[in-house]
């Protein structure tokens, strides 16, 4: 089904249509130490992940080139994000940090603030409180959020569930109930100026809650990470969600994200799936692929030097 979409899209019009420029707000990096630790060996379609962290980086970079990804918000362990940034000849990488709990990597607020001042954390996320049995509204996260507010650092938080195997293996405290976007509401109330996006848009579990939060908090964005490729059933949800968001008038706060994890081909698959949705106009697609993220990230605004 997915290959079918790809072929149809590539053949439309007089020759292949040029791909619009893209900002991918949901890319993952790894180092040898954590490569493949959290993912199953094969994805839903039976495709194996990249064999190692370096091949994974090279294949992801090749996909950036092929699919016109001009910027990518990369989250992973700090070492892997720095390795990606060091190898990035095109200023594509926006440095994120993958954290499930505020203590990960032996982090504390002093080090966190220093990393921000050094430009080594440009987006606080992907945060996965869900995986550590916490929510972003819990006390442990608040000192970090206050620092993000102080330095105007955008926050990217995982919403929705996770891989079904997680709770029985690497994330024993993960519970579906913790993926509810409404659990982020206290953060929106406490830090009204904080730029925040809900990764996975509430997933298959809570798309309506993501939509309701967008309606109520007019500065809240969502990304489509994993939702554009992971399973045909998820793609069906996403298609319906985008129709509903279009109807509601909030498409200008939807961000493209692939969430390729260990499968770099998912970047192209995500781009192709969004292109295949013919209920979206070209202008709406351009917004999701690039313009909304450029606005959210304030790419045109010179950086503050704190
Ligand atoms: Zn996630």
Could you read off the pLDDT of 205-230 as tens digits, one per residue? Answer: 999 999 999 999 999 999 999 999 99
Q: With 50 as the cut, is the pLDDT of residue 236 above it?
A: yes
Give the chain's end-to-end CA distance (angstroms, integer). 50
Report yes or no on 8 lying in a domain. Answer: no
pLDDT value of residue 164: 81
Q: Is the pLDDT of residue 3 over 60?
A: no
Which structural domain, as residue segments, surrounds residue 116? 18-295
- Flag the least confident range among 61-65, 159-163, 258-262: 159-163
Position 264 in a domain: yes
Query: How far away, in angstroms, is 202 Cα from ligand 1 center?
Result: 10
Question: What pLDDT, on the 0 to 100 scale, is given for residue 43?
Answer: 95
Q: At 110, which CATH number?
A: 3.20.20.140
Domain annotation covers residue 258: yes
Distance from the alpha carbon of residue 17 to the mean position of ligand 1, in angstroms: 31
The Å distance, Cα 126 to ligand 1 centre, comes to 7
Residue range 115-156, pLDDT digits in tens: 999 999 999 999 999 999 999 999 999 999 999 999 999 999
Q: How far is CA 282 from CA 12, 15, 118, 119, 210, in A?
A: 14, 17, 38, 34, 24
- What average pLDDT does the structure give for the chain? 93
Please tell me the predicted confidence (pLDDT) of residue 303.
59
The CA 201 to ligand 1 mean position distance, Å, reads 10
Q: Write down the pLDDT at residue 219.
A: 97
Is 10 part of a structural domain of the chain? no
pLDDT of residue 81 exceeding 80, the answer is yes
Kindly give the distance from the C-alpha atom of residue 162 to the centroid of ligand 1, in angstroms, as a whole number. Answer: 7
Paired tokens of 226? 């994993």
Task: Say if residues 139 and 90 touch (Cβ distance below 8 Å).
Answer: no
Confidence bin at 276 (pLDDT 50/70/90): very high
Tell whether the model's pLDDT for residue 287 goes beyond 50: yes
Question: Domain tally for the chain?
Answer: 1
Tell me how far the alpha carbon of residue 251 lies from the centroid of ligand 1, in angstroms.
Answer: 21
- pLDDT of amino acid 121: 98
Share of the chain above pLDDT 70, in %: 93
Would you tell me how many other CB atoms lie within 10 Å of the CB of residue 251? 18
In-domain check, residue 303:
no
Tell me the CA–centroid distance for residue 149 and ligand 1, in Å.
Answer: 22
* Ligand 1 centre distance from Cα of residue 299 (Å): 23
Q: Which residues contact 46 (CB under 8 A, 6 or more apart)?
A: none
Instruction: Identify each DSSP E strand in 224-292 by its residue range.
Output: 254-255
pLDDT at 16: 61
Q: How far apart are the CA of 15 and the centre of ligand 1, in A? A: 36
> Is it the case that residue 234 has pLDDT exceeding 50?
yes
Nearest-5° angle of CA 141, CA 142, CA 145? 95
pTM exceeding 0.75: yes
pLDDT band per the 50, 70, 90 thresholds, residue 163 = confident
Whether the pLDDT of residue 15 is over 90: the answer is: no
List the structure tokens of 293: 């993220």
- DSSP E strands, the chain: 22-28, 69-75, 93-95, 124-127, 155-158, 196-199, 221-223, 254-255
Cα 304 to ligand 1 centroid, rounded to whole Å:
28
Q: Rounded to the nearest whole angstrom, what is the distance from the C-alpha of residue 29 to the centroid of ligand 1?
A: 13
Whether 191 maps to a domain, the answer reads yes
Q: Which CA distances in Å does 106 have to 39, 111, 219, 302?
A: 23, 9, 32, 32
Please report the pLDDT score of residue 301 as a whole number. 76
Give the distance (Å) from ligand 1 centre to CA of residue 168: 18
Pairing relationship of beta strands 93-95 and 22-28 according to DSSP bridges:
unpaired
Domain assignment present for residue 305? The answer is: no
């Amino acid at each position: 089904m997915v290959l079918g979409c790809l072929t149809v899209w590539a053949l439309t019009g007089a020759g292949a249509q040029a791909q619009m420029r893209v900002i991918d707000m949901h890319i993952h990096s790894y180092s040898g130490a954590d490569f493949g630790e959290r993912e199953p060996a094969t994805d839903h379609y039976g495709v194996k992940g990249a064999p190692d962290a370096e091949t994974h980086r090279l294949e992801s970079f090749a996909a950036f080139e092929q699919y016109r990804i001009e910027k990518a918000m990369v989250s992973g362990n700090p070492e892997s994000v720095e390795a990606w940034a060091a190898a990035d000849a095109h200023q594509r990488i926006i440095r994120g940090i993958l954290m499930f709990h505020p203590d990960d990597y032996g982090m504390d607020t002093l080090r966190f603030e220093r990393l921000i001042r050094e430009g080594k954390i440009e987006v606080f996320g992907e945060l996965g409180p869900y995986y550590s049995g916490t929510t972003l509204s819990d006390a442990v996260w608040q000192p970090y959020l206050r620092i993000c507010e102080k330095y105007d650092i955008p926050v990217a938080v995982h919403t929705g569930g996770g891989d079904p195997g997680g709770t029985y293996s690497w994330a024993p405290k993960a519970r579906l109930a913790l993926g509810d976007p409404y659990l982020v509401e206290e953060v929106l109330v406490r830090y009204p100026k904080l730029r925040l996006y809900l990764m996975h848009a509430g997933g298959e579990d809570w798309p309506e809650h993501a939509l309701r939060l967008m309606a109520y908090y007019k500065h809240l964005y969502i990304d489509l990470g994993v939702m554009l490729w992971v399973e045909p059933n998820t793609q069906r949800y996403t298609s319906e969600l985008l129709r509903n968001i279009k109807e509601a008038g909030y498409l200008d706060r939807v961000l493209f994200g692939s969430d390729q994890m260990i499968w770099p081909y998912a970047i192209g698959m995500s781009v192709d799936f969004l292109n295949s949705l013919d209920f979206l106009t070209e202008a709406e697609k351009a917004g999701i692929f690039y313009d909304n993220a450029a606005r959210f990230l304030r790419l045109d605004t010179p950086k503050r030097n704190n």
